[in-house]
Structure 1
Amino acid sequence: MDKLILYMQYPFVRYALIVGTLIALCSSLLGVTLVLRRFSFIGDGLSHVAFGAIAIASVCNLTNKMLLVLPVTVACAIFLLKSGQNTKIKGDASIAMISVGALAFGYLLMNVFGTSANLTGDVCSTLFGSTSILTLTAFEVWLCVILSAVSVLLFILFYNKIFAVTFDENFAKAVGTKVDTYNLLIAMVIAVIIVLAMNLVGSLLISALIIFPALSAMRIFDSFSKVTILSALISVLCALSGILISIVAGTPVGSTIVATQAVMFAICCVLGKLGGKLA
């Protein structure tokens, strides 16, 4: 406790806790929708696209990489949505194609045109989020707060529409819901969350923020609203625990958070089975 109190005096630790909490909250809300629609690995695809965009921004020596990374990732999210409706290229094939291609081109650009003296360290930090969450600036924190608030607000305002689109698109179309519009909204919000989450867990571990909380909550509840609320609570709790453990123990932030979520998933599985037996 003394060590934690000491570290809390530093602004970068407080920034990490704020950003980690917000990112965990946002990713868990739409995570339930993506898991139910069997589209969980869109996080992997978009995170690798973001990695490629970061590589391009680094080669171009852009001071604010977010100006390039965010629009590129949103554009690819829209492309994945449209291509997923194509009978020639299925959704999972599109994700795999873009994911591998962007990752390969990004690493190639960083090797050929990179100016950093520590290329291995930069790649490792981008892929696994080793130190980036602890080097956030005040501008990045405020940007995360604003984008997270917009994401949560959109989810709350269009909750009923997202619910309808998640479970039965055909019925939603039949009652006049603009399915394509809300699918586009979901894709854009997910893209924003992916870009924000890269600072927390890196591009290779982002799917864990989306998948683990939703699956953990589904072990206990079977109602969409209850699963969404519990998923958000689990995600925030694991993010805070993971960041604090990593600070005290000196472990990588992203890996610690994912390990915490894996442990929570195991606990929820046990609780779900016990609850079923009791019922």
Structure 2
Amino acid sequence: MALLIEKLAQYWSYPFVRYALVVGVLVALCSSLLGVTLVLKRFSFIGDGLSHVAFGAMSVASVLNLTNDMPLVMGITVLCAILLLGTGRNARINGDAAMAMFSVGALAVGYLIMNVFSTSANLTGDVCTTLFGSTSILTLTKTKVWMCVALSVVVVLLYIFFYHKIFAVTFDESFASATGIRAKEYNLILAVVTAVVIVMAMNLVGSLLISALVIFPAMAAMRLFKSFRTVTIFAAVFSVFCATAGILTSILAGTPVGATIVTADILLFALCTLVGWLRRR
């Protein structure tokens, strides 16, 4: 144990380790806050769909040789999120069908663009890194960290400020509209915030693993608690814990960061499911 603590203390002296922990904790926190609402609204698959859209946007940015692809990726992802979540029940295509179309279409087109136009000597490595997250936490720059901090503060403040409205829209959108709450506008806010979190998370866990950060902490908390507030709080606690444990494990064991974090989420979900089952017995 002393050797392990000494090794962690040694790694902590490197800036890239601190960057990874900061980004991981903030992304996990924002994902878990949105995850509870998205799961209850049966939009849990939107994380996967929007992550594929972001992958397609990143493919276009890489072909255009953009030094900062964040504005393009963020803009396209936000637009698709508005189309998926903001239109609500008035859309001519059902939500799950629209998500599947965006998801598969963006993934296929993005990969096609990278194959046809990319000049990278390691195309397979670039695609794998984008889909499954950075194999090394050295890829997180100070600029990305500060951008993540700023966006995370905005997301958390919006969630806290509009908490009661989000609660009403989550459980009964029609009743919320009848009581004077502008449900469409809050769905729009939810869509934009979700897109922002998805783009932030891609730098850490990759596009294929983002939905795990949204779903698993919320589902784990729901196995133990019933009230919306309690589930939200413990989903955030579980998500931050798994992100921290996953990053530290990946540093010590040399495993991919994204996959390690998701594995920690899965193990925690299994544990909460077991505890919930024992409590019911």
Bin the TM-score by the shorter chain: over 0.9
1:146 aligned to 2:153? Answer: no
1:52 aligned to 2:56? Answer: yes
With normalisation by structure 2, the TM-score equals 0.96
Q: How do 1:22-101 and structure 2 match up within 5 A?
A: 22-82=26-86, 84-86=88-90, 88-101=92-105
- How far off its partner does 1:3 sit? 1.9
- How far off its partner does 1:87 sit? 5.5
With normalisation by structure 1, the TM-score equals 0.97
Which segments of structure 1 move beyond 4 Å, counting only runs of 4 or more? Answer: none
Structure 2: distance between partners of 1:124 and 1:17 = 22
Residue type of the alignment partner of 2:177: K
Q: Which of these residues, 232, 236, 240, is aligned with residue 228 of structure 1?
A: 232
Match of 2:216 in 1: 212
Structure 2: distance between partners of 1:245 and 1:57 = 32
Unaligned runs of 5+ in 2: none
Matched-pair contact (CA < 8 Å) for 1:84–1:90: no
Q: How high is the sequence identity, in percent, across the aligned residues?
A: 68
Match of 2:178 in 1: 174
Matched-pair contact (CA < 8 Å) for 2:25–2:243: yes
- How far off its partner does 1:4 sit? 1.5
Residue type of the alignment partner of 1:93: A
Structure 1: distance between partners of 2:87 and 2:170 = 18
Residue type of the alignment partner of 1:124: C
Matched-pair contact (CA < 8 Å) for 1:83–1:91: no
Give CA-to-partner distance per residue, 1:224-278, whole Å, 9 cap, x none. 000000000000000000000011001111111111000000110111122233x
Which has the larger displacement, 187-196 or 4-13? 4-13
- How far off its partner does 1:222 sit? 0.5
Aligned length: 277
- How far off its partner does 1:84 sit? 4.6
Match of 2:124 in 1: 120
Match of 1:18 in 2: 22
Instruction: Give the match's secondary structure for 1:176.
Output: coil
- How far off its partner does 1:131 sit? 2.8
- How far off its partner does 1:133 sit? 4.2
Structure 1: distance between partners of 2:192 and 2:166 = 13
Matched-pair contact (CA < 8 Å) for 1:56–1:106: yes
Matched-pair contact (CA < 8 Å) for 1:169–1:179: yes
CA RMSD of aligned residues (A): 1.1
Residue type of the alignment partner of 1:85: R
Structure 1: distance between partners of 2:149 and 2:210 = 19
Instruction: Give the match's secondary structure for 1:85.
Output: helix
- How far off its partner does 1:82 sit? 4.4
Change (3 A) 1:87 1:60: closer
Match of 2:252 in 1: 248
Give CA-to-partner distance per residue, 1:40-90, whole Å, 9 cap, x none. 000011000100000000000000010110011001100112455245310
